[in-house]
Amino acid sequence: MVFSELPTPCYVVDEALIERNLEVLKGVMERTGAKILLAQKAFSMYALYPMMGEYLSGAAASGLYEARLCAEEMVRPMEQRGRALENHVFSPAYKSEEFDEILKFGDHIVFNSWRQVERFGPRAKAAGKSIGLRVNPECSTQEDHAIYDPCAPGSRLGVTKENFLRGWEAVAGQGAVDGLHFHTLCEQNADALERTLEAVEEKFGRYLKGMSWINFGGGHHITRKDYDLPRLERCIRKMQEKYGLTVYLEPGEAVALNAGYLIAKVLELVHNGMDIAILDTSAACHMPDVLEMPYRPPLQGSGLPGEKPYTYRLGGPTCLAGDIIGDYSFSAPLKEGDRLVFEDMAIYSMVKNNTFNGMPLPAITVRRKDGEYEIIKKFGYEDFKGRL
């Protein structure tokens, strides 16, 4: 299959670009001995899990279903190839009726409070799992988006220093916790990690020497061109050498950053004070981070409004008035049937899309390293109906 034959809308993940990112992550692991996990919340295209399993140390899950997906599609296939991978699970609160099944799949279980450690820790320990506690270093490194800041006032994520001390003697002093986990970054460079580690050490450093691992969480844009790899590696080595810890990182975006596209088609052109193109893809349904983040996704062959001769507002086909992707300019007028290629659409797209207004879900496609396109999955009416 070639590009012109792809259905629209359609997600396309480029196998070669994923592999390029994996090579960068593999280099960090080889130089430092750290372990890097795929955070599935950003990218769960399991058709590529066997390839990712050849590079990464495993995956991180946010609950039962992701833990099971990792076990079935990454851990077990790699076991058959003689490669052992890890399956880490964190949830702000576990459901008792799911916990035994979680223990079947996960090997590192991270809790969000001392109460959760008390409630579920003994079951996890009895099953031979490594136990972690998520901490909140109360060090915000984000200025623009409080919704993505686990260190914002009133955050429900992670144990603060005050609450950590209250539970230490009663719970952790009995050897219930093997490691600490923090996740405070969002699309950031290593300078933010360095600042955060200073806060982690100041608040929790005295307890780290008795533990076996620390997890730096996600939000590290490691595969971005301007990312400071030497600084990241200094941070890793510091925690290894000072405390004797195994260091984990669990980026999601970095694995699939700039490695995917969303192909859309122009359905209609209208004018209301400006030229408007209605596409067969929706910001609300197919790229929800455009509205939630918010951000303006890159579009091949386009410019900023007014930069090129023809400027259009691109919108989706739903009834939501705010289903707007953004304003873009083009060298030539758009016409019905034109195909547009939105970039960096592998992350937080397939995992977050929805069928609002009965919108069909985009097909999922891989561009193989030889340039051929392979449709992995198509969706239809039954996929919409089955969710209702």
Phi then psi dihedrals of residue 291, to 5 deg: -90, -35
pLDDT of residue 174: 53
pTM for the whole thing? 0.95
Contact 305, 328 (CB under 8 A): yes
Contact 305, 276 (CB under 8 A): no
Confidence at 300, pLDDT banded by 50, 70, 90: very high
Checking if the pLDDT of 175 tops 80, the result is no
Across the range 365-375, mean pLDDT stands at: 96
Strands 275-279 and 260-271: antiparallel
Cα 170 to Cα 177: distance, rounded to the nearest angstrom: 12
Cα 361 to Cα 11: distance, rounded to the nearest angstrom: 10
Tens digit of each residue's pLDDT (9 = 90 or more) over 64-107: 999 999 999 999 999 999 999 999 999 999 999 999 999 999 99
Across the range 125-154, mean pLDDT stands at: 92
Confidence at 1, pLDDT banded by 50, 70, 90: confident
Tens digit of each residue's pLDDT (9 = 90 or more) over 326-356: 999 999 999 999 999 999 999 999 999 999 9
Please count the CA atoms within 13 angstroms of the CA of 348 that sit on its side-chain side. 22
Phi then psi dihedrals of residue 265, to 5 deg: -125, 145
Cα 137 to Cα 142: distance, rounded to the nearest angstrom: 14
63-76 exposure pattern, b = at least 16 Cβ within 10 A, e = fewer: bbebbbbbbebbbe
Give the position of tokens 């590696």.
233
**Of 293 and 12, more confident:** 12
Q: Where are the beta strands (DSSP E) in 117-190?
A: 130-134, 179-181
CATH 2.40.37.10 domain position(s) in the chain: 3-11+260-345+353-386
What DSSP state is assigned to residue 74?
I
CATH 3.20.20.10 domain position(s) in the chain: 33-256
Cα 307 to Cα 95: distance, rounded to the nearest angstrom: 53
Phi then psi dihedrals of residue 345, to 5 deg: -115, 15
CATH 3.40.50.1820, applies to 33-256:
no
Let me know the angle formed at the C-alpha of 149 by 167 and 64, rounded to the nearest 5 degrees.
Answer: 65
pLDDT of residue 210: 87
Contact 36, 291 (CB under 8 A): no
% of the chain residues with pLDDT over 90: 93
pLDDT of residue 172: 55
pLDDT of residue 169: 74
pLDDT of residue 293: 87
Other residues' Cβ atoms within 10 Å of the Cβ of residue 127: 15
pLDDT of residue 6: 95
Give the position of tokens 């200025």.
143
Contact 338, 280 (CB under 8 A): no
Cα 36 to Cα 51: distance, rounded to the nearest angstrom: 15
Tens digit of each residue's pLDDT (9 = 90 or more) over 233-244: 999 999 999 999
CATH classification number, 3-11+260-345+353-386, choose in 1.10.10.10, 3.40.50.300, 3.40.50.970, 2.40.37.10: 2.40.37.10
pLDDT of residue 97: 97
> To the nearest 10°, the Cα dihedral for 299, 305, 310, 314?
50
Cα 344 to Cα 377: distance, rounded to the nearest angstrom: 20
pLDDT of residue 382: 97
Length of the chain: 388
Give the position of tokens 């062959």.
301
Contact 11, 261 (CB under 8 A): yes
Tens digit of each residue's pLDDT (9 = 90 or more) over 269-281: 999 999 999 999 9
Across the range 23-52, mean pLDDT stands at: 98
* Greatest Cα pair distance in the chain: 69
pLDDT of residue 368: 96
Q: How far is CA 354 from CA 253, 348, 387, in A?
A: 20, 12, 10
Checking if the pLDDT of 144 tops 80, the result is no
Residue 188's DSSP bridge partners are 220
Residue of 61, 62, 50 lying closest to 22 (CA atoms): 50
Structure tokens at 252: 């999601």
Across the range 35-53, mean pLDDT stands at: 97
Phi then psi dihedrals of residue 313, to 5 deg: -95, 125
Tens digit of each residue's pLDDT (9 = 90 or more) over 148-174: 999 999 999 999 999 998 888 776 555
Other residues' Cβ atoms within 10 Å of the Cβ of residue 235: 24
Strands 339-343 and 260-271: antiparallel
